[in-house]
Amino acid sequence: MSSPPSERATLLVSCPDRRGIVAALAQLLYGYGANILDSDQHTDSVAAQFFQRLHFDLSELQTDRGTLERAIFEVAERFGMRFELRYQNEVKRVAIFVSKYDHCLYDLLLRHQSGELSCELPLIVSNHPDLERVARQFDVDFALVPMSKEDKSEGEQRQLELLRARRVDLLVLARYMQILSESFISSFAGKIINIHHSFLPAFVGGKPYHQAYERGVKLIGATAHYASAVLDEGPIIEQDVVRSSHRDSVADLVRKGRDLEKVVLARAVRLHLEDRVLVYGNKTVVFE
């Protein structure tokens, strides 16, 4: 039971709800000697969709991984499943996009350094040179990709090349202050996590703390979501709030918000890295 984590895998599955899915997958894994360590399932009875996350141990697998994969593929065909199978020894590679704010960047770097985020961090990309010093403090490569106001396509082309060259699996927008083009987003669909500094759908756009101040809300929030073609409208992964009051200036909201943004973004990244998030429609199933 105490095999090393590198001998583990996670299967994420979604399909139209039908009888027998749970039994079919459990039987399949058991039959090949894969031991289920953790499983979680959800049925959206409105959408009639089934979702499951299976985390299992391969250390006593009685076949090779190719055979296991083919067997899963066959079950998936039978039930009309979309699935993702991830081996834990294939560590995800994450790039961080930043502009000038350093708090989310520092937070991710420190969590990575402490072993809290199981991923590699091969690259930081920015449209400003300011945070190169932070990248250097933590010995991560830093690429300056300036973005022209008139034409972003050149900059985005350069970014995509960098991401491909480093084989990046996940792109984290850690208060990156540029709007990505639809084509860029579709190149990385479902692989871009953004942190928005409000409790979406309240206060979309660039100045949420100012809007919150004007409206006189008694809580401010932060939202981590997958980037989608429509700004601030992608599937939400995680949200949280903190209390504010009439005493808080915009600067106070910004300060309080920093702590919130860090924690909410880090939770979302962690959930994604552990293959706990399934997207359907514009919503997420998060198996915590």
The yes or no reply on residue 271 touching a copy of itself (CB under 8 A) is no
Query: What is d(CA 234, CA 255) in angstroms, rounded to the nearest whole number?
Result: 25
- Between residue 58 and residue 77, which ones bind a copy of itself under the rule CB under 8 A? 60
The single residue of 57, 107, 232, 248 carrying the catalytic annotation is 232
Pick one of 3, 30, 157, 183: the residue that binds a copy of itself (CB under 8 A): 30
Please say if 40 is a catalytic residue: no
Which residue in 189, 219, 229, 230 binds a copy of itself (CB under 8 A)? 219
Alpha carbons 133 and 98: distance in angstroms, whole number: 13
DSSP string, 198-215: SSTTSS-SS-HHHHHHHH
If binding is defined by CB under 8 A, does position 199 make contact with a copy of itself? yes
Closest CA to 211 of 244, 188, 181: 244
**CB-nearer residue toward a copy of itself: 66 or 216:** 216
Q: What is the DSSP letter of 139?
A: T
Q: Please name every residue paired with 223 in a beta bridge, in sequence order, or none if there are none.
A: 196, 239
Task: Out of 3, 6, 20, 69, name the contact with a copy of itself by CB under 8 A.
Answer: 20
DSSP for 174-238, please give it: SS--SPPPHHHHHHTTT-EEEEESSSTTSS-SS-HHHHHHHHT-SEEEEEEEE--SSTT-SPEEE
285 touches a copy of itself by CB under 8 A: yes
Does 218 help bind a copy of itself (rule: CB under 8 A)? yes
Tell the residue number behind the tokens 């960047």, with chain if given.
105
Angstrom distance (rounded) from CA 56 to CA 193: 26
Among 221, 257, 261, 269, binds a copy of itself (CB under 8 A): 221
Which of 143, 236, 253, 265: binder of a copy of itself (CB under 8 A)?
236
End-to-end CA distance of the chain: 22
Q: Which stretch binds a copy of itself (CB under 8 A): 3-11, 40-48, 77-85, 176-184?
A: 40-48
Which residues lie near a copy of itself (CB under 8 A)? 1-2, 17, 19-20, 22-23, 26-27, 29-31, 33, 35-46, 48, 60, 102-103, 106, 110, 114, 116, 137, 199-203, 215-219, 221, 235-241, 245-247, 249, 255, 258-259, 263, 282-286, 288
* Residues labelled catalytic: 232
